[in-house]
Structure 1
C-alpha cells in the first residue's frame, strides 16, 4: 500500500500538519470529513495531535485503500492500564522510602525484599495477613537457606511497611531476629597496600585507591567526591553525606593533593572528581571494584580484596601506630565507639606477646 497521507508534528506539539495529494479530490474530501482543517496562517492542513482526532483519519484512509504515516509521539501512545492493587502498593511503599530520604541502595534492597513478600501472598494484600502469616513466611525463607543478613533485611522491609507506611504500632510484629555473627574486619598488611598502589599505573585508579586507604573512605564516598570538596588552603577533604548522612572533614596528605591535582588536569571532570566514560557521570562502583581486584592480582595477592578492605586497613594501621581510638572513630565517622573497637581485635600492637617467645627455644 503506497503511502499517500503523512502527519508531521508542529513546533507547538499540539497539532499535526497533514500532507496528501492536494489534487486528489476524493482524498481531500475524506480527510476534511474526518476532521482535517485548513488554516491559512499555517499555510496548510492541520489535525489535533490526539488519538481521538487521528483515529477517524486512519479509518478514512483505510476505506480509500491508502496508507497513513503517523509519527510516534507521547500523546498518541496507547494508554497504560490502571495499576493493579499490588503495583499501587509497591509505588506507595517506594514513595515513603523516598520521603524518608533513605539511600538509593536501601530503596533498592527494601523494594526487592518487600516485593518478594507481596508476591508470595498474592492475591492477598499485606493488610489482610495475620502475624502467623508473616512468621510462617519468614520461617519458610529461613528453611530455604537464606543468609542471616538477608533475613534481617526481610524483617526490616516488612516492618517498614506496617510501621511507616501504614502507621501501625512498632510492636505490631515482634519478629525474632538472628544473632549477627561477630566477624573481624579483613585487613591488608602495609606492604600489601604499598604493592597494590605501586602496581597501579592508571592515574585515576591510583588516586581512588590512595583516597580509600589514605583517608579511610568508603566506596560511595570516593565516587561522590567533587572538586570543591578539596580545600587546599586548609589541606582538608570534605566528605558530604556519608553513611548515616553525616559530614566530616579529613586531613588531606600533601602527596595526595598533588596526585589529585594531576588527575584533575588530565581528565578535566565536569561534576564529580572521578568520572566514567560519560562526562558528568560518576565512576562506576562495579568498575572500581574491578580495579581493586586486578590491582591485587598484579601485587600477587591471591585472596579476595575489596575496596572496603582499604578502609579497614587504614583504621587498623592507625591503631597499630598508637593513634587514640577516639580520634579514629571521628576520622571514620562512626557514631558509636563500639563500632570502632572492632579494630582492636585485629591490631597487633594491642595484643601481648606470647609467652612462647620467652622460652628461648
Structure 2
C-alpha cells in the first residue's frame, strides 16, 4: 500500500495531466510533449522533485501498458527523458562523533538554539520536525511529530528527562500558546544556526 503523501502526489500530478490533456488519447503523446509538460510543472523545483514527478508519470503509463494495452509505448521511456530526470547521486555524509555533538551544544549560548540542537541530537529529529513542534505536542518526555517525512500522519519520539524539563521551562518562560510553534523561525535560519554551531568546533 502506498503512503498517504505518495497517493496525494499521484493525485496532484494526474489531476494536472488531465487538466492539460483531458481530451487526448494516451497513445497520441510524444516524448517532446511529455518533456514540455514535466518542465512546466517542475519549474523552479529541485532535481529530486523533478525525478519524482517523472517517475510518477512514467509509472502511470506503465500501468496502462500492463493492464490495458500491452502494445502501448510509454512516452516517458526515452533516453533523453531518463537522462534529464535521473536521480542525483547519493551524498555520503560524515558521521559526527558524540563528543563533538556535545561540544557543539555546550558552546551554543542561546537557549532557543541550544534546545533545537538538543532535540535533534538527543531525539533524532530533523530540523523541519523540530520547527513544527507546538506545546500541545509535548507530553513530558514524549513528543508528537505531525506529518513527518515518513508519510505517516504522526510519529512519537522520546527525549531525555533533562531535555524535556528544559523544553517545558522554555515554553513556560516564553508563554507560548498550545497551538503556536515553539520555535517560530524559518528552515534556512535553523540550518544556518546548526552550521554555525559546527563551525565553532571546526566540523
Confirm or deny a common fold (TM above 0.5). yes
Check the 8 A contact 1:269/1:275 in 2, yes or no. no
Structure 1 residue aligned with 2:176: 269
* CA drift at 1:264: 1.0
Structure 2 residue aligned with 1:56: none
Residue in structure 2 matching 1:255, options 162, 167, 170: 162
- Return closer, same or farther for 1:151/1:252 CA change in 2, 3 Å cut-off: closer
1:202 aligned onto 2:104: no
* CA drift at 1:205: 1.1
Residue in structure 1 matching 2:132, options 213, 224, 241: 224
SS of 1:187's equivalent? coil
* CA drift at 1:242: 1.0
Task: Give me the whole-angstrom Cα distance separating, in 2, the residues matched to 1:134 and 1:214.
Answer: 49
Higher relative contact order (CA 8 A, sep 6+): 2
Gaps of 5+ in 2: 40-44, 66-73
Task: Give me the whole-angstrom Cα distance separating, in 1, the residues matched to 2:36 and 2:49.
Answer: 14
Task: Give me the whole-angstrom Cα distance separating, in 2, the residues matched to 1:126 and 1:229.
Answer: 44
SS of 2:143's equivalent? strand
TM value normalised by structure 1? 0.38
Check the 8 A contact 1:223/1:272 in 2, yes or no. no
Check the 8 A contact 2:119/2:130 in 1, yes or no. yes
* CA drift at 1:182: 4.2
Structure 2 residue aligned with 1:74: none
Structure 2 residue aligned with 1:245: 152
* CA drift at 1:273: 4.5
Q: Which deviations, in whole Å up to 9, do the C-alpha atoms of 1:2-37 show, x marking residues without a partner? A: xxxxxxxxxxxxxxxxxxxxxxxxxxxxxxxxxxxx
* CA drift at 1:137: 5.0
Task: Give me the whole-angstrom Cα distance separating, in 2, the residues matched to 1:294 and 1:183.
Answer: 21
Task: Give me the whole-angstrom Cα distance separating, in 1, the residues matched to 2:96 and 2:113.
Answer: 18
TM value normalised by structure 2? 0.63
Q: 1:155-234 maps to which residues of 2 (within 5 A)? A: 155-156=54-55, 159=57, 170-171=64-65, 172-175=74-77, 176=82, 178=86, 181-232=89-140
Task: Tell which structure's C-alpha radius of gyration is larger.
Answer: 1
Q: Which deviations, in whole Å up to 9, do the C-alpha atoms of 1:59-81 show, x marking residues without a partner? A: xxxxxxxxxxxxxxxxxxxxxxx
The two structures, once aligned, show a CA RMSD in angstroms of 3.8
Check the 8 A contact 1:148/1:180 in 2, yes or no. yes
* CA drift at 1:292: 1.1
Structure 2 residue aligned with 1:82: none
SS of 1:223's equivalent? helix
Question: How many residue pairs end up in the alignment?
Answer: 166
Q: Displaced runs of 4+ in structure 1, greater than 6 A?
A: none
- Return closer, same or farther for 1:272/1:136 CA change in 2, 3 Å cut-off: closer
- Return closer, same or farther for 1:170/1:209 CA change in 2, 3 Å cut-off: farther
- Return closer, same or farther for 1:298/1:246 CA change in 2, 3 Å cut-off: same
SS of 1:245's equivalent? coil
Structure 1 residue aligned with 2:71: none
Structure 2 residue aligned with 1:290: 192
Structure 2 residue aligned with 1:307: none
**Relative to total residues, which structure has the larger helix share, 1 or 2?**
2
Check the 8 A contact 1:197/1:206 in 2, yes or no. yes
* CA drift at 1:238: 2.0
* CA drift at 1:178: 2.8
Task: Give me the whole-angstrom Cα distance separating, in 2, the residues matched to 1:246 and 1:186.
Answer: 30
More deviation in 255-264 or 178-187?
178-187
